[in-house]
Amino acid sequence: MSNNKTIIFFLLLFPNIVLAQVSISRTANANMNVFSYMSFDVTSNGPLDFKFNNNQQLLDGVTLNNKFNVNVISNINWILNVSTLTSNFLAIGPQASTQMPPDILSIKKNTSNAFIPLNHNPNMVCFGYRGDQTSANNQFKLDIKATPGYTFNGGSYAIVLIFTLSVQ
Amino acid sequence: MNLQKKTLVFILFVFLSLDKTQAQSFSYDLQSAALSFDYSTLSNFTTPRTIPKAFTLNIRNSNRGKYNIFCKIVSNSNENFGNIPLNLFSIKVNSANFTITSSYYNSTILGLSDVLVGNVTGRARKTDTIFYDLILNPLSFDFGPDNYNYSFIFTVTEY
């Protein structure tokens, strides 16, 4: 009878032992809509003033190095354009010439050698790739140069620069 | 067959039947909140977002009452998966109708392989409900505008 009890005991355990391990998978779906995103800021290091104290400066021009700091955040490859608000400088004072064009100003990335003349229409200054300001080429400085020559009267002049970030 | 053997067979039959009636099969269902996310503002890209109780697991335990919960993601997009950030999603336990190990209340980053997001014991024949939060980690600007589709695959393994 003792043997029978043992058999009964093991048989009672048996159903629990032979239960197979259960593994069940279920799925949930998610959707991510990533929209185009572009933003940038341009800050000037101090006032953007050009002063010409001699003829040579008028002829050769005056360069303000690293005058602008630019930070770009974009998930699209981008182009930075610059233009002027008006087709000529605003002449300030009675002696100033009224027809001084924006192309006496030129601009370039500080790592570039070629200055880009400014125009009322946008001109490309540089381009870059998606990423934030920590990405290579998405944080940089711009140099600006003014070369009025001898054509225009002495006086004060002003013009508004417009920086535009667009898609490559 | 003598009377003693007949009695033994009968007793075994009764006990086996009892055991069978007490047994409960293991099963669970998964419910999810609306899982559609837009990335359009700077904060969408740079700040983590938590979707509370994004997933609900309703688990019906068998006699064992012990199981592990795993989770992973797969991409359903046409994009090469290598171009999609793998650390984009984390999950963590929000709450449960029983005491669950505190470490699972900390977020776990999901990847392409199963990650253990819950271990439960001592729940024989009980019904468990576990809520998980989904965390959208910041998305790098290195990924272009597109529509990305993912599946979250929960696997619950009884042991």
User: What confidence tens digit (pLDDT) does each residue in B1-20 have?
Assistant: 555 666 655 554 544 444 44
| CB-CB neighbors (< 8 A) of B132 in chain A | none
User: What confidence tens digit (pLDDT) does each residue in B19-60 have?
Assistant: 444 567 999 999 999 999 999 999 999 999 999 999 999 999
User: What confidence tens digit (pLDDT) does each residue in A85-113 have?
Assistant: 999 999 998 899 999 999 999 999 999 99
CATH of residue A158's domain is 2.60.40
pLDDT of A32 strictly over 60: yes
Q: Does A117 reach chain B within 8 Å, measured CB to CB? A: no
Write the residue in B35, B145, B158 that is nearest to A30 by C-beta.
Answer: B35
* Cβ–Cβ gap A75/B142 under 8 Å: yes
Residue A74 region by backbone torsions, left for phi larger than 0, else alpha for psi between -120 and 50, else beta: beta
pLDDT for res A135: 87
pLDDT for res B147: 87
Share of chain B above pLDDT 70, in %: 80
Element (H, E) at B46: helix B42-46
In a domain, B20, yes or no: no
Give the contacts of A119 (CB within 8 A, at least 6 positions apart). Answer: A83, A84, A102, A103
Share of chain A above pLDDT 70, in %: 88
Lowest mean pLDDT segment, chosen from A19-28, A68-77, A149-158: A19-28
Nearest CA in chain A to B7: A4
pLDDT for res B14: 46
In a domain, B11, yes or no: no
DSSP code string of A10-54: HHHHHHHHHPPP-EEEEEEEEEEEE---EEEEEEESS-------S
Task: Tell me the backbone φ, ψ of residue A5, rounded to 5 degrees.
Answer: -60, -40
pLDDT of A10 strictly over 70: no
In a domain, A118, yes or no: yes
Q: Looking at CA atoms only, how far is residue A164 from chain B in angstroms?
A: 19
User: What confidence tens digit (pLDDT) does each residue in A51-68 have?
Assistant: 999 999 999 999 999 999
In a domain, B7, yes or no: no
In a domain, A6, yes or no: no
In a domain, B18, yes or no: no
In a domain, A12, yes or no: no
Task: Tell me the backbone φ, ψ of residue B143, rounded to 5 degrees.
Answer: -105, 125
Q: Looking at CA atoms only, how far is residue B36 from chain A in angstroms?
A: 5
CA distance A24 to B39: 33
In a domain, A33, yes or no: no
pLDDT of A19 strictly over 80: no
In a domain, A27, yes or no: no
Q: How many CB atoms lie within 10 A of CB B122?
A: 10
Report how many domains make up chain B.
1
Chain B interface, mutation test: which of A22, A38, A76, most B Cβ atoms within 10 Å?
A: A22
Strands ordered across the beta sheet of A62-74: A38-44, A62-74, A139-146, A105-109, A116-117
The answer to whether A1 and B8 are in contact (CB under 8 A) is no
In a domain, B81, yes or no: yes
pLDDT of B71 strictly over 50: yes
Report how many domains make up chain A.
1
Element (H, E) at B61: none
* Cβ–Cβ gap A30/B151 under 8 Å: yes
pLDDT: which is higher, A97 or B79: A97
In a domain, A31, yes or no: no
User: What confidence tens digit (pLDDT) does each residue in B96-108 have?
Assistant: 999 999 999 999 9
In a domain, B49, yes or no: yes
pLDDT: which is higher, A95 or A84: A84
CA atoms within 13 A on the CB side of A35: 11
Q: How many CB atoms lie within 10 A of CB A68?
A: 22
How confident is residue B83, by pLDDT bands cut at 50, 70 and 90?
Answer: low
User: What confidence tens digit (pLDDT) does each residue in A149-165 have?
Assistant: 999 999 999 999 999 99
CATH of residue B62's domain is 2.60.40
* Cβ–Cβ gap A34/B143 under 8 Å: yes
Task: Tell me the backbone φ, ψ of residue A57, rounded to 5 degrees.
Answer: -65, -40
Strands ordered across the beta sheet of A161-167: A123-128, A78-84, A161-167
In a domain, B9, yes or no: no
How confident is residue A73, by pLDDT bands cut at 50, 70 and 90?
Answer: very high
Touching B: A residues 77-116, CB under 8 Å: none
pLDDT of B70 strictly over 60: yes
- For B101, the domain range is 27-158
Q: Does B104 reach chain A within 8 Å, measured CB to CB? A: no
In a domain, B14, yes or no: no
Lowest mean pLDDT segment, chosen from A15-19, A111-115, B125-129, B152-156: A15-19
Q: What is the ipTM of this complex?
A: 0.82
